[in-house]
Amino acid sequence: MKRIDMEFDLVVIGGGTGGPMAAVKAKEKNPKLKVLLIDKAHVKRSGAISMGMDGLNNAVIPGHATPEQYVKEITIANDGIVDQAAVMAYAANSFDMIQELDRWGVKFEKDETGDYAVRKVHHLGSYVLPMPEGHHMKKILYRQLKRARVEITNRVVVTRLLTGANGEVSGVMGFDCRTADFYVIRCKAAVITTGAAGRIGLPASGYLMGTYENPTNSGDGHAMAYHAGAALANLECFQINPLIKDYNGPACAYVTGPFGGYTANARGERFIECDYWSGQMMLEFHRELQSGNGPVFLKLDHLAEETISEIEHILHSNERPSRGRFHDKRGNDYRKQMIEMHISEIGFCSGHSASGIWTNARGETSVPGLYAAGDCASVPHNYMLGAFVYGRICGHTAAEYCGAVADRAIDEGAVAAEQARVSAPLQRSEGPTPFQIEYKTRRLVNDYLQPPKITRKYEIGLRRFDEVREDAQAMLATNPHELMRAMEAMSIIDCAEMAARSSMFRAESRWGLYHYCVDHPERDDANWFCHTLLSKGADGSMTMAKKAVEPYIVPIDDEERDAYQRLRVERKAEAA
């Protein structure tokens, strides 16, 4: 491996959603900073919004909602386990970010008066803002990167962070997935914006890359934060979503809801009052699937033609444009029949749940000089707009930090060890392939970790993960691209173990299906009304700890606390 040395003030890792925003805002805060945006793909088409987005799920717009209402909604949806200050930091900056994106050229749906056409999907408030022409998102972000003169390095896979004597960030290491050149980048600070850990579980289709989340998001950021000493929060709060059966994308009942669509059972009956994704919603979905009333469907066949045409324009042209082709091949027609739905594989994604690298309201992690934004960070239910808002927060905070600290020294011993670890698969002539290691890990995740959670299965799963980790030490890569897959497989193993250990630590059920434990079926606020933090112990093993929930700044009434537990539509028994 040829070594390439670089030096910047700030390195932003991940060029999807939050990363470009963090890089642009850091440069705006301090134009003299040397800022690098680095991605293992190409920034023009990387990340979960590579094909655009069909709407904002959490727009806090005056006249439709207040920041306080939103904080209350997310607190209730997340069973109370939130840092309200971090949620408020998002909510208070939401509208300003929407206006800035509007000025940049992002097109949001507006009514005849020019006001944003906000729709109601959530249980309590109105926050959904459709984007019928959201497919231009990445082009708009790339234009802003060039205007801000942010330096960009594509096709480099970041594997580890370097830290100094006091645990502070001092650099970034990785390799080029086309040449295998090894990069050592000295910096004062880093922002991780690597998205969800979407390749932990195996899709029902069996395809390695057929995941709900962008399949390039393999948990690299979660793993590198862990190995740098950062704490990760509430990893037992899995992401599990409702999907179109056999398709790696959502049925989007929450998008169609404002138009009159809804989730239905095999009888065509609505069985949940709110299609907004929450753990309790997914638990009711799971129960209906397992009952005599399944399968579960997206129901649109009762809607008018013009309404269905508008839904098709939104769902089939943005984010996952293959959705329309899938329906065509299946012979699915929203007008004629309901569309079968299913449950996704598990993952880590704060955008849809609450698990990720622990951060506060300034985007700071527990490691000095390290920040995180978007689906890899811990602020719950953040979605795309939250990634933008926290990208800006992290960019500003990191820029201030870089201006206050001196240049960092590089630990050459750590560099040599990481280069040896990364290059090892290329030196071998035989061994298991990255695809074999990844498939085995993810199949075991499905076998042992998929909720409902059973302690004995988790114990067996951990033992099996140890066996796979040992096998992975002999992994073979025949070229730089396979080397990328090998390093991703190692991150997936790390994330699988994190998921298991966090789940076993929290001895209760919470967040509906996300953490439904057969051995501890009830919520236990007396002992578990807290965050859980996972970190790397002094002996190199994963350690767990409780962290008190931060004092609320928006009070929650007793009658509101369980609002999301009352989603099921209650039907009166038929007269005998």
- pLDDT tens-digit series, residues 185-206: 999 999 999 999 999 999 988 8
How many other C-beta atoms are found inside a 10 Å radius of the C-beta of residue 218? Answer: 30
Query: Which among 530, 508, 529 has a CA at the least distance from the CA of 520?
Result: 508
- Residue 568: the pLDDT is 80
Q: Is 574 exposed, middle or buried (0-12, 13-18, 19+ CB in 10 A)?
A: exposed
d(CA 191, CA 18): 9
Please say whether the beta carbons of 465 and 496 come within 8 A. yes
Please say whether the beta carbons of 380 and 9 come within 8 A. no
- pLDDT tens-digit series, residues 205-221: 888 999 989 999 999 99
Q: Report H helices in 9-136.
A: 18-29, 67-77, 84-104
- pLDDT tens-digit series, residues 533-573: 999 999 999 999 999 999 999 999 887 888 777 768 776 54
d(CA 138, CA 20): 9
> Rounded mean pLDDT of the chain?
94
Sorted by sequence, the CB contacts under 8 Å of residue 449 that are 6+ apart come out as 201, 346, 457, 458, 461, 496, 499, 500, 503
> With the CA atoms of 41, 42, 45 and 46 taken in that order, what torsion angle do they form, in degrees rounded to the nearest 10?
40
Task: Indicate the DSSP class of residue 211.
Answer: -
- At 270 the three-state DSSP class reads strand
Query: Which among 522, 525, 530 has a CA at the least distance from the CA of 561?
Result: 525
d(CA 135, CA 216): 19
pTM, 2 dp: 0.95
- Residue 575: the pLDDT is 40
> With the CA atoms of 254, 256, 260 and 266 taken in that order, what torsion angle do they form, in degrees rounded to the nearest 10?
-80
- Residue 416: the pLDDT is 98
- Residue 387: the pLDDT is 97
Range with the largest mean pLDDT of 242-256, 270-284, 405-419: 405-419
- Residue 477: the pLDDT is 98
- Lowest average pLDDT, out of 38-47, 130-139, 165-174, 315-324, goes to 315-324
* Strand partners for 318: none
Kindly tell me the number of DSSP H helices and DSSP E strands found in the chain: 15, 20
- 71 token code pair: 């904080």
How many other C-beta atoms are found inside a 10 Å radius of the C-beta of residue 41? Answer: 20
Query: Which among 221, 213, 197, 239 has a CA at the least distance from the CA of 48?
Result: 213
AA identity, residue 252: C
Instruction: Please state the rounded mean pLDDT for residues 17-35.
Output: 98
Q: With bands split at pLDDT 50, 70 and 90, how would you rate the model's confidence at 139?
A: very high
Instruction: Please state the rounded mean pLDDT for residues 101-120.
Output: 93
Cα–Cα–Cα angle for 134, 334, 138, nearest 5°?
Answer: 15
AA identity, residue 3: R
Task: Indicate the DSSP class of residue 326.
Answer: H
Q: With bands split at pLDDT 50, 70 and 90, how would you rate the model's confidence at 450?
A: very high
d(CA 401, CA 395): 10
Cα–Cα–Cα angle for 171, 177, 179, nearest 5°?
Answer: 100
The full DSSP string for 133-202 is TGGGHHHHHHHHHHHTT-EEE-SEEEEEEEE-TTS-EEEEEEEETTT-PEEEEE-SEEEE----B--SSP
Please say whether the beta carbons of 396 and 92 come within 8 A. no
Whether the predicted pLDDT of 365 surpasses 50: yes
Q: With bands split at pLDDT 50, 70 and 90, how would you rate the model's confidence at 228?
A: very high
The share of the chain scoring above pLDDT 90, in percent, equals 83
Please say whether the beta carbons of 27 and 33 come within 8 A. yes
Note the residue count of the chain. 576
Q: With bands split at pLDDT 50, 70 and 90, how would you rate the model's confidence at 576?
A: very low
Instruction: Please state the rounded mean pLDDT for residues 89-118.
Output: 95
d(CA 237, CA 379): 12
Q: Report H helices in 405-479.
A: 412-427, 434-448, 455-472
- pLDDT tens-digit series, residues 160-186: 999 999 999 999 999 999 999 999 999
Whether the predicted pLDDT of 97 surpasses 70: yes
Please say whether the beta carbons of 407 and 186 come within 8 A. yes
Please say whether the beta carbons of 509 and 523 come within 8 A. yes
Please say whether the beta carbons of 372 and 193 come within 8 A. yes
Instruction: Please state the rounded mean pLDDT for residues 42-46.
Output: 94
Query: Which among 343, 276, 332 has a CA at the least distance from the CA of 299?
Result: 332
Whether the predicted pLDDT of 367 surpasses 60: yes
- Lowest average pLDDT, out of 47-51, 325-329, 507-511, 539-543, goes to 47-51
- At 414 the three-state DSSP class reads helix
Q: With bands split at pLDDT 50, 70 and 90, how would you rate the model's confidence at 267?
A: very high
Rounded to 10°, the helix 220-227/480-505 angle is: 70
Sorted by sequence, the CB contacts under 8 Å of residue 251 that are 6+ apart come out as 242, 243, 244, 263, 298, 339, 341
- Residue 253: the pLDDT is 72
